[in-house]
């Protein structure tokens, strides 16, 4: 067992990302140096932002280079350690890339290297305690600043981040309206995740339904989607409301520029604010969020839903599930037991 | 002399506003009641927002009704007083509407009724100490929050608000880049108003010129214009920069929705903020701004430029000058001596 399977970025995508953008490869297992550990990846995390990392433009992380393994978060097991803080057998979270083995060290790479707290499963670590949970927590509370009694609108509501945003907003005493695609996701959001109202953008008039479900307009819009849903939302901005620009998945696979909302003037009239944020800025404060999120999970106030696929060969196809809107909850893939 | 000349809103505009949207009328001079004064309007103020007040939609002020005189700020003279705080002959600022005479009282109407401070001319009161001066002051300092050494980009820079924004940013130690239309305005901004660099959007590639004049990108963009200029600016957002959404004059006379910027994702990547504001919210703090603005005018750090037209019959045509970009500085019209 000396082979490290990988999926490399073969070409930069135009239009919908898919298996054709990647290339399977085999290499030798890397060797950790002093201070480092060798991790065997067990679960890979799939995140909408990965499509953006494949494009050659300046952003908050450098683009993945052609011929390099695709960047991804992971949970794995330490199988060799040259760092006194880690023992063989420890479950850890790191930036594992699309491969079986990765060399990692604390403080290196976008995610560093952290041990899973006792009692925390890989699924929990990569969802509610991972990037999507932290994104929902800091994006909603720091940028959105919801107050009890306010209305919070969330797009991409059945995605991992969106489902946490809505549930945290409920915990904070807000009325929560979600926008998601298809009756299954909408039913889950209402019946299981406790949203007050849900709009099925595939089968309903989003603009009219926002008006219907937000009779007093909305105070916070947590936008994971962009595009026409953002425009529809901006027709129902309350005075001094806040838009959290978390992502715009609707445009990630576009082949050219997509027009923005024609009604930005509604921000002016309503003295409203639209603000972007990147979760990496909040990583130094991650433990603060993790403690509160774990508390809410323990008390049953916050549920997490995982869409778990299996098989190393399915890695590229699993990424596409995100942009096709196939996932309900956090998209993960198990590559090893 | 008992006739009160008026220009009434005759029909709601579609496309470019013009004289055809208004109707000349004569009525009797109104009678002030106890606590009120009768003002003879001398100077009318023209402001881009007036086009929006003519449209029947919910905004920060109710729309002007069909058949009513058009709403406008003014400076005039008190010719009859039933208020102990005002004497006949006092010069006052109020909401005079497009007419010779108006009944006004302190605290009533959007602008209330205030006496011009000693030594302040109507031109000064309606520009640097009026809506445009206050808009620049509070919009830049409260929403834009410029810090010394930062780069401030201003669109509509040769308009009254824009020219004050740039000059105040210079006073605060910023590097200032303006965007204006035509060589005359650009020359004035650079040679007289002290801007560091100017982009002529009618004759230059705005996107390329922003890159050229903002090598470290911009930290504050004060946007009076919207449309393609906003989109070009958003390609050069610095980390944690601020967009002050003051207005979007480029779209006020459009007959249908105009696509918004296709690159809002740049706000996300750069953790940037876009925020709308309405100057009426800051009127309780007006004196704070007026004192500082007067000080800067006295010391020669802040100049104000007035584009003064004359003649009651020219009122509707003067409004159009704003949207045709004909004015350099504050657009005023003198209707009486």
The Cβ of residue B25 has, within 10 Å, a number of other Cβ atoms equal to: 14
Residues 6+ apart with CB under 8 A from A7: A22, A23, A24, A25, A69, A70, A98, A99, A315, A316
The CATH number that domain A3-127+305-334 falls under is 3.90.180.10
Q: Is the pLDDT of residue A99 over 80?
A: yes
DSSP codes of every residue in A104-164 = E-TT-TTT-EEEPPTT--HHHHTTTTSHHHHHHHHIIIIII---TT-EEEEESTTSHHHHH
- A270 at B interface, C-beta within 8 A: yes
Quick check: B59 and A259 CB within 8 A? no
Instruction: Supply the pLDDT for residue B59.
Output: 78
Instruction: Give strand pairing partners of A6.
Output: A25, A99
Report the alpha-carbon distance of residue A299 to residue A282 in Å, rounded: 25
Judging contacts by C-beta atoms under 8 Å, the chain B residues touching residue A59 are 269
Mean pLDDT calculated for residue range A115-130:
94
DSSP codes of every residue in A18-77 = -GGGEEEEEEEPP---TT-EEEEEEEEE--TTHHHHTS-S-SSSPPPPTTSBPP-EEEEE
The phi and psi torsions of B262 (rounded to 5 degrees) equal: -80, -5
Residue with tokens 């425009």: A231
- B208 at A interface, C-beta within 8 A: no
Q: Which of B257, B265, B272 shows the shortest C-beta gap to A262?
A: B257
Judging contacts by C-beta atoms under 8 Å, the chain A residues touching residue B251 are 265
The Cβ of residue B1 has, within 10 Å, a number of other Cβ atoms equal to: 7
| CATH H-level, domain A131-280: superfamily | NAD(P)-binding Rossmann-like Domain (3.40.50.720)
**Shortest CA gap A241–chain B (Å):** 10
| Domain B3-121+305-334 architecture | Alpha-Beta Complex (3.90)
Instruction: Supply the pLDDT for residue A290.
Output: 93
Instruction: Supply the pLDDT for residue A1.
Output: 66
**Shortest CA gap B275–chain A (Å):** 4
Which residue of B lies nearest to A250 if distances are taken between CA atoms? B265
Mean pLDDT calculated for residue range A142-160:
97
Instruction: Supply the pLDDT for residue A20.
Output: 96
**Shortest CA gap B6–chain A (Å):** 28
Q: Is the pLDDT of residue A179 over 90?
A: yes
The rounded mean pLDDT for chain A is 95
Give the start-to-end residue ranges of the domains of chain B. 3-121+305-334, 131-280
Report the alpha-carbon distance of residue B277 to residue B288 in Å, rounded: 18
Q: Is the pLDDT of residue A11 over 80?
A: yes
Q: What is the token pair recorded at A247?
A: 């992502």
Q: What percent of chain A has pLDDT over 70?
A: 100
Mutate to test the interface with A, among B239, B274, B281 (most CBs of A within 10 A): B274
Q: What percent of chain A has pLDDT over 90?
A: 88
- pLDDT tens across A237-284, in order? 999 999 999 988 888 888 888 889 999 999 999 999 999 999 989 988
Instruction: Give strand pairing partners of B37.
Output: B81, B104
ipTM comes to 0.88
Mean pLDDT calculated for residue range A166-173:
98
Q: What is the pLDDT along chain B (337 residues), one digit of tens a residue?
A: 689 999 999 999 999 999 999 999 999 999 999 999 999 999 999 999 999 999 998 778 899 999 999 999 999 999 999 999 999 999 999 999 999 999 999 988 888 899 999 889 999 999 999 999 999 999 999 999 999 999 999 999 999 999 999 999 999 999 999 999 999 999 999 999 999 999 999 999 999 999 999 999 999 999 999 999 999 999 999 999 999 999 888 888 888 888 899 999 999 999 999 999 999 899 889 989 999 999 999 999 999 999 999 999 999 999 999 999 999 899 999 999 8
Mutate to test the interface with B, among A161, A247, A265 (most CBs of B within 10 A): A265
Q: What is the token pair recorded at A133?
A: 């949970």
* Residue B164 to residues A322, B130, B297, B330, Cα–Cα distance (Å): 48, 11, 11, 10
Who has greater pLDDT, A108 or A203? A203
- B156 at A interface, C-beta within 8 A: no
- Angle, CA of A312, A325 and A173, to the nearest 5°: 115
- pLDDT tens across A212-234, in order? 999 999 999 999 999 999 999 99
């Amino acid at each position: 067992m000396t082979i490290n399977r990988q999926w490399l970025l073969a070409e930069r995508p135009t239009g919908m990302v898919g298996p054709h953008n990647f290339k399977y490869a085999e290499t030798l297992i890397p060797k950790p140096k002093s201070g480092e550990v060798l991790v065997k990846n067990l679960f890979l995390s799939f995140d909408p932002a990965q499509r953006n990392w494949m494009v050659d433009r300046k952003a908050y992380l450098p683009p993945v280079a052609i011929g390099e393994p695709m960047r991804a978060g992971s949970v794995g097991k330490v199988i060799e350690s040259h760092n006194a803080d880690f023992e063989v057998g420890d479950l850890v979270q790191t930036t594992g890339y699309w491969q079986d083995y990765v060399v990692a060290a604390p403080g290196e790479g976008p995610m560093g290297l952290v041990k899973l707290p006792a009692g925390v499963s890989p699924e929990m670590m990569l969802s509610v305690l991972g990037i999507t949970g932290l994104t929902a927590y800091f994006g909603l509370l720091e940028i959105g600043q919801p107050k009890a009694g306010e209305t919070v609108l969330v797009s991409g509501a059945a995605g991992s981040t969106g489902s946490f945003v809505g549930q945290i907003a409920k915990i904070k005493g807000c009325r929560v309206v979600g926008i998601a695609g298809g009756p299954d996701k909408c039913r889950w959001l209402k019946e299981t995740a406790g949203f007050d109202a849900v709009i099925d953008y595939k089968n309903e008039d989003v603009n009219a339904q926002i008006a219907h479900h937000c009779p007093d307009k909305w105070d916070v819009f947590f936008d994971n989607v962009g595009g026409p849903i953002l425009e529809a939302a901006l027709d129902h901005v309350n005075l001094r409301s806040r838009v959290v620009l978390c992502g715009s998945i609707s445009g990630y696979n576009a082949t050219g520029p997509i027009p923005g909302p024609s009604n930005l003037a509604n921000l002016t009239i309503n003295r409203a604010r639209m603000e972007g944020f990147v979760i990496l800025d909040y990583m130094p404060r991650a433990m603060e969020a993790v403690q509160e999120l774990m508390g809410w999970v323990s008390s049953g106030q916050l549920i997490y839903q995982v869409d778990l696929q299996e098989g190393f060969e399915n890695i590229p196809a699993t990424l596409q599930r995100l942009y096709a809107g196939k996932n309900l909850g956090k998209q993960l893939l198990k590559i090893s037991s």
